[in-house]
Amino acid sequence: MPERSALRFTVLGTVQGVGFRPYVHRLATGLGLDGWVANTGGHVEGAVAGRSDAVARFGRRLGADAPVLARVRQVLLSAASTHPPAPGSGFAVRPSSPGLNGTAAREIPPDAATCADCLQELFNPGNRRYRYPFINCTNCGPRATVIEDLPYDRAHTTMRDFRLCPACADEYRDPADRRFHAEPLACPSCGPQLSWNGLEAEAALGAAVTVIRRGGIVAVKGLGGYQLVCDATDQACVTELRRRKRRPSKPFAVMAQDVAAARQLASVWKTERRLLDSPVRPVVLLHARVPSPIAPAVHPGTHRVGLFLPTTGLHHLLLHDLARPLVVTSGNIADEPIATDDAEARLQLDGIADGFLIHDRPIRARYDDSVVQAVGRTVITVRRARGLAPAPMPLPRPATIPLVAVGAQLKHTFA
Ligand SMILES: [Zn+2]
Ligand SMILES: [Zn+2]
């Protein structure tokens, strides 16, 4: 009989809400190991047992090929001398536990833009999530804007009131499914729904699309707050948005359907393309084409235009159905914070928006869009928000004294 050994592991970093437990499950079962994995406090813990060579390989690979959204800071391994997993007991994702109040940072992952697999499903008429705006999986979707606490479980997110339907529950429990333990998992029959003045789902989206197509301004409830959306090619409409929002000249960000559409509006070099297409989906400051289909009122007095690609299923649907670049800007007046509460948004945006495209999931945390600029291959972060925050920024070298960093003038950042 081959020699058997066991290993305990703890993984620190941004490892919850990024598909890490499913990844460990695949790694362990692929090597034929018994054991378990769980979210504990702010990190991931577990144990494996099996053939010594397979256990050793597990220890070497753990964290090395982690999911794209994970940020592994440390992997701690030790021999599992007490209660090693029994032979043939299989591998399980155990219920989360609050853990001890250790010193390890509790890292809540930022939101991630709709991944390529979900995008393919979103526009596949045969898929049960066809045109479902809240589509997500373990590799994409809302995180910081829905998580209320760690350990990362549905019960600790704003999705807890949406009870999984049988089909979603099957996906959630199936280790082979790409939505295995995807906590914000949702579908048209059990997840959040769009609404617009008494209309629901497709009818609500259709009403918003019609208003925008006719030159109107729509308030859209996004992930991290309300946004104001209108046709970026319509000079009269953008001018009216400036008047109503009391924002005379500061440029508006423009959302384009994909990289090809962005290239019609601005020159996009290699680094900029990577930024546009990344899960962060920041607003990227680019040199606008001359002439450009974008209305001059979008970025008056500057050749720079801030472009970004759709961040959620809802934005993909809006861009697809309208087939034109859209101004997507924070839903507020002048320097007020972006609105997140439904009643507050109605009050604040009543005189600005011609209609409200909303949904029934509360917004846990306020997030504006991130803004970046590439200078050659160097990336300058102008505003660190959705998609980047609240992920910690590692210091280039350890601090020898306790430090506090506070910035910036209008958007607060504390470290
Ligand atoms: Zn996805
Ligand atoms: Zn469902």
Instruction: State the pLDDT confidence band at 104, using cuts at 50, 70 and 90.
Output: low
Distance CA 75, CA 59 (A): 9
- What pLDDT, on a 0 to 100 scale, did the predictor assign at position 105? 63
Domains detected in the chain: 4-93 (3.30.70.100), 194-359 (3.90.870.10)
Going from the Cα of 262 to the center of ligand 1, the distance in angstroms, rounded, reads 22
Q: Which tokens is 409 given?
A: 């003038």
> Cα of 121 to ligand 2 centre, how many Å?
14
Q: In sequence order, which residues have a C-beta less than 8 Å from that of residue 64 and are 6 or more positions away?
A: none
Say how far apart CA 20 and CA 16 lie, in whole Å: 7
Cα-to-centroid distance, 170 and ligand 1 (Å): 17
Distance (Å) from CA 209 to ligand 2 centroid? 26
User: Between β-strands 194-196 and 355-359, what pairing exists: parallel, antiparallel or unpaired?
Assistant: antiparallel
- pLDDT confidence of residue 407: 64
- The pLDDT, as a whole number, for residue 102 is 55
Q: pLDDT per residue over 283-305, tens digit each?
A: 999 999 999 999 999 999 999 99
Ligand located closest to 121 CA: 1
- Say how many Å lie between the CA of residue 73 and the centre of ligand 1: 24
Predicted pLDDT of residue 81: 72
Distance between Cα 341 and ligand 1 center (Å)? 26
ipTM surpassing 0.90: yes
Tell me the three state secondary structure of residue 400: coil
**CA 188 to ligand 2 center in whole angstroms:** 6
State residue 156's pLDDT score: 85
Report CA(153)–ligand 1 centroid distance (Å).
Answer: 18
Ligand 2 centre and the CA of 107: distance in Å? 28
Ligand 1 centroid to residue 113 C-alpha, Å:
8
Q: Ligand 1 centroid vs 314 CA: distance in angstroms?
A: 13
Bridge partners (DSSP) of residue 8 are: 47, 78
Give the residue with greater pLDDT, 316 vs 4.
Answer: 316
State how far the Cα of 414 lies from the Cα of 263, in Å rounded to an integer: 36
Of all ligands present, the nearest one to the C-alpha of 135 is: 1
Residue 408 has pLDDT above 80, yes or no: no
Return the pLDDT at 305. Answer: 96
Give residue-wise pLDDT tens across range 46-58.
999 999 999 999 9
Please name which ligand lies nearest the alpha carbon of 128: 2
Beta bridge partners of 48: 7, 35
- Counting ligands in written order, the one closest to the CA of 18 is 1
